[in-house]
């Protein structure tokens, strides 16, 4: 060891330094306190041996000063007195000394003490090395967490907007780790349909957090392109299986809220069931369908069936992660689904989030949750009138010229192909169409769905007027589509440029028997968007309000829409 010997007399210095050197220690002798402190700060000896009292030396004060300078490191100190005195020994220990010896001192006793101190110093040295390594690990983990958090937060809000920016969505989260495995993402389709995803990755911490990465970007991008929820969830399952180890799973609940049609669609893979309350906290409706979490099944076995319910005005959808329901109090009692329902029933929408948070905090008390907890509240307000929220027309827009593409679909393709996003993606290759994607999506989806539902599937919208008619209509639609063996739909989209002005012409034809064109024209002439109280029939009126022309073939199974791309000039024939 490196030993600092503080001795006021040369005889004492020689008496102690020689045997210490013979034991293999390096000894430096200092004659007073001030010099000893100066030497100590430069040399940092392993052990300090000091006279209790000598000219220029106060061993007790020196010990206190050394311990202050060494803190938080432990500095071994031995004090030696001229004779044994129990009061001096107590004073030495209180000052911070590790041993007290009196003269004359047996070298064997000192050697034994030094051996103990040496082992303790080695333990301290090893602990300091481990602490340094842990600090490096912690710094590296902090950087990993910072990057992971940035990546996921950026992907959850790719345009810089938080999910809480959507006025229809309220969220609350509490993580059991610094990085939680729960995540909420919100996006809007070009038609205005709201998509909400609540995900809960298996495991916890960074591993769970990073497991969410494969599903965030596809969720946003496919929603923005207008893909339906069933297609999105199938792609998310594929991404999880492709990107994550085979033992990793992601439980998700995906929701689509169509405010124009008044339909909520839910796909639940491994999450607690969602439910819906009316504006007064009554009329409880549960979404009970369950699928396996993402990553569990291959594409052939995967089920993308959605559970759907209609809503009128003022309903609110409630989604939670399992950590919220499983939160236990000091007695081990879980908060549970019933605790959540009891908290929400009878409350107006504006109070529900705050009351659930208060109830959870009261239930947990001072306990820390064992799992991440997430609450999502989604307002379901059916539009009183059909709304159009597309970009304004741009003056002086340059057009690439005339182009045209056509799509012909048979019965097999109608049940599986997502036609509208496909057409929108093709049209989006042209700059003009990217600027008008909102309008184009609404028109294409309305024409195609009208051709499919009423032309090919022969569905009667009057069914929606019956009690639970929307659910019955949706079920019948799914059954007929699954059993479809005959039928065709053709779509043609073309840009026409004449004299510096441009139009878009869209034609949609189905193989159905058609309808009474004269009666439909009369209804459209009499109907305004605000004047139709029925849960159907507003689609064509919406298209007509956006377009410059809306024409039907003689038997009604073909419709042509002309949309001005830069002004309201007379459209071409």
Instruction: Give the pair of three-digit tokens for residue 58.
Output: 């106060």
Measured CA to CA, the distance from residue 414 to residue 449 in angstroms comes to: 11
Q: Does any domain span residue 60?
A: yes
Considering the domain architecture, whether residues 102 and 181 belong to the same structural domain is answered as: no
Q: Does any domain span residue 33?
A: yes
Considering the domain architecture, whether residues 183 and 92 belong to the same structural domain is answered as: no
Considering the domain architecture, whether residues 304 and 445 belong to the same structural domain is answered as: no
CA neighbor of 325 nearest in space, from 394, 277, 265, 371: 371
Helix or strand run (H / E) with residue 562: strand 558-564
Strand runs labelled E in 347-437: 373-380, 403-409
Query: Buried b / exposed e across 394-420, counting CB within 10 Å, b at 16+?
Result: eeeeebeeebeeebebebeebeeebbb
Q: Which residue has the tokens 């339909």?
A: 263
CA angle (415, 418, 424) in 5-degree steps: 150
Residues 52 and 80 sit within 8 Å (Cβ to Cβ): yes
Q: Does any domain span residue 497?
A: yes
CA angle (416, 420, 423) in 5-degree steps: 110
Burial of 148 (0-12, 13-18, 19+ CB in 10 A): middle
Query: Which CATH number characterizes residue 122's domain?
Result: 3.40.50.2300
Low-confidence ranges of the chain (pLDDT < 70): 141, 144-145, 147-164, 177-180, 204, 384-400, 427-436, 517-538, 567-573
Measured CA to CA, the distance from residue 387 to residue 539 in angstroms comes to: 10
Considering the domain architecture, whether residues 480 and 513 belong to the same structural domain is answered as: yes
Measured CA to CA, the distance from residue 494 to residue 561 in angstroms comes to: 11
Listing DSSP states for 351-375 in one string gives: HHHHHHHHHHHHHHTTPPPSS-EEE
Angle between helical axes of 336-344 and 349-364 (0-180°, round to 10): 140
CA angle (195, 198, 200) in 5-degree steps: 155
Q: Does any domain span residue 132?
A: no
Q: Which residue has the tokens 């003689």?
A: 554
- What φ, ψ does residue 299 adopt, rounded to 5°? -65, -35
pLDDT value of residue 537? 55
Residues 477 and 454 sit within 8 Å (Cβ to Cβ): no
Instruction: Give the pair of three-digit tokens for residue 483.
Output: 């059993």
CA neighbor of 46 nearest in space, from 115, 130, 134, 105: 115
Considering the domain architecture, whether residues 87 and 179 belong to the same structural domain is answered as: no
Considering the domain architecture, whether residues 176 and 76 belong to the same structural domain is answered as: no
Considering the domain architecture, whether residues 43 and 82 belong to the same structural domain is answered as: yes
* Contact partners, residue 96, CB within 8 Å, separation at least 6: 63, 64, 66, 67, 75, 77
Strand order in the sheet with 501-510: 403-409, 489-498, 501-510, 558-564, 549-552
Using alpha carbons only, how large is the chain's radius of gyration in Å? 39
Q: Does any domain span residue 225?
A: yes
Q: Does any domain span residue 540?
A: yes
Query: Which CATH number characterizes residue 198's domain?
Result: 3.60.40.10
450 to each of 196, 458, 470, how far by Cα in Å?
26, 10, 16
Domain count for the chain, please give it: 3
Strand runs labelled E in 35-135: 47-51, 53-54, 57-58, 77-81, 99-102
What residues make up the domain containing 177? 158-380
Q: Does any domain span residue 299?
A: yes
Query: Which CATH number characterizes residue 484's domain?
Result: 3.30.565.10
Measured CA to CA, the distance from residue 481 to residue 563 in angstroms comes to: 30
468: left (phi over 0), alpha (psi -120 to 50) or beta: left
Considering the domain architecture, whether residues 216 and 361 belong to the same structural domain is answered as: yes
pLDDT value of residue 364? 92
Q: Does any domain span residue 417?
A: yes
Residues 446 and 550 sit within 8 Å (Cβ to Cβ): no
Last residue within a domain, chosen from 126, 149, 183: 126
Measured CA to CA, the distance from residue 364 to residue 353 in angstroms comes to: 17
Considering the domain architecture, whether residues 411 and 356 belong to the same structural domain is answered as: no
Considering the domain architecture, whether residues 68 and 176 belong to the same structural domain is answered as: no
Considering the domain architecture, whether residues 254 and 361 belong to the same structural domain is answered as: yes
Q: What share of the chain is helix, strand, coil (3-state, %, to 5)?
A: 40, 25, 35
Considering the domain architecture, whether residues 170 and 81 belong to the same structural domain is answered as: no
């Amino acid at each position: 060891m490196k030993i600092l010997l503080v001795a006021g007399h040369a005889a004492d210095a020689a008496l102690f330094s020689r045997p210490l050197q013979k034991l293999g220690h390096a000894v430096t002798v200092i004659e007073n306190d001030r010099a000893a402190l100066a030497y100590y700060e430069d040399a940092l000896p392993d052990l300090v041996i000091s006279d209790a009292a000598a000219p220029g030396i106060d061993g007790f004060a020196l010990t206190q000063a050394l311990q202050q300078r060494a803190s938080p490191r432990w500095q071994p100190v031995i004090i030696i007195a001229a004779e044994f005195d129990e009061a001096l020994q107590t004073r030495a220990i209180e000052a911070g000394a590790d041993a007290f010896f009196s003269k004359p001192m047996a070298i064997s006793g000192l050697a034994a003490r030094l051996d103990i101190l040496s082992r303790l110093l080695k333990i301290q040295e090893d602990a300091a090395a481990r602490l340094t390594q842990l600090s490096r690990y912690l710094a590296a983990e902090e950087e990993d967490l910072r990057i992971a958090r940035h990546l996921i937060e950026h992907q959850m809000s790719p345009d810089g907007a938080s999910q809480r920016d959507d006025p229809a969505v309220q969220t609350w989260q509490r993580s059991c780790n610094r990085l939680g495995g729960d995540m909420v993402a919100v996006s809007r389709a070009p038609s205005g349909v709201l998509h909400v995803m609540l995900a809960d990755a298996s495991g916890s911490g960074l591993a769970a957090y990073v497991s969410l990465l494969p599903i965030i970007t596809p969720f946003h991008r496919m929603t923005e392109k207008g893909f339906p929820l069933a297609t999105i969830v199938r792609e998310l399952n594929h991404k999880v299986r492709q990107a994550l180890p085979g033992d990793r799973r992601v439980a998700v609940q995906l929701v689509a809220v169509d405010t124009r049609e008044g339909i909520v669609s839910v796909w639940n893979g491994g999450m607690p069931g969602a439910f819906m309350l009316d504006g007064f906290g009554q009329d409880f409706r549960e979404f009970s369908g369950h699928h396996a979490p993402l990553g569990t099944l291959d594409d052939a076995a995967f089920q993308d069936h959605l559970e759907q319910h209609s809503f009128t005005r003022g309903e609110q959808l409630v989604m939670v992660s399992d950590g919220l329901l499983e939160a236990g109090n000091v007695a081990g009692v879980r908060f549970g689904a019933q605790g959540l329902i009891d908290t929400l029933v009878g409350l107006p929408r504006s109070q529900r989030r705050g009351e659930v948070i208060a109830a959870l905090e009261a239930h947990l008390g001072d306990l820390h949750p064992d799992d991440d907890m997430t609450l999502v509240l989604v307002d379901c307000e059916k539009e009183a009138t059909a709304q159009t929220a597309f970009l304004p027309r741009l003056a002086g827009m340059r057009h690439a010229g005339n182009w045209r593409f056509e799509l012909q679909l048979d019965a097999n393709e109608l049940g599986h192909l997502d036609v509208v996003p496909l057409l929108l993606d093709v049209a989006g290759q042209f700059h003009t169409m990217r600027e008008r994607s909102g309008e184009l999506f609404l028109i294409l989806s309305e024409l195609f769905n009208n051709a499919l539902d009423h032309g090919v599937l022969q569905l009667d919208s009057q069914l929606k007027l019956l009690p639970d008619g929307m659910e019955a209509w949706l079920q019948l639609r799914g059954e007929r589509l699954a059993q479809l063996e005959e039928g065709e739909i053709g779509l043609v989209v073309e840009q026409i440029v004449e004299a510096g002005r441009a139009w878009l012409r869209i034609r949609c034809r189905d193989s159905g028997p058609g309808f009474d064109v004269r009666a439909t024209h009369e209804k459209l002439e009499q109907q305004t968007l605000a004047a139709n109280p029925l849960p159907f029939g507003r689609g064509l009126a919406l298209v007509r309000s956006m377009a410059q022309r809306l024409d039907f073939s003689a038997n009604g199974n073909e419709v042509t829409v002309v949309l001005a791309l830069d002004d309201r000039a007379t459209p071409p024939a």
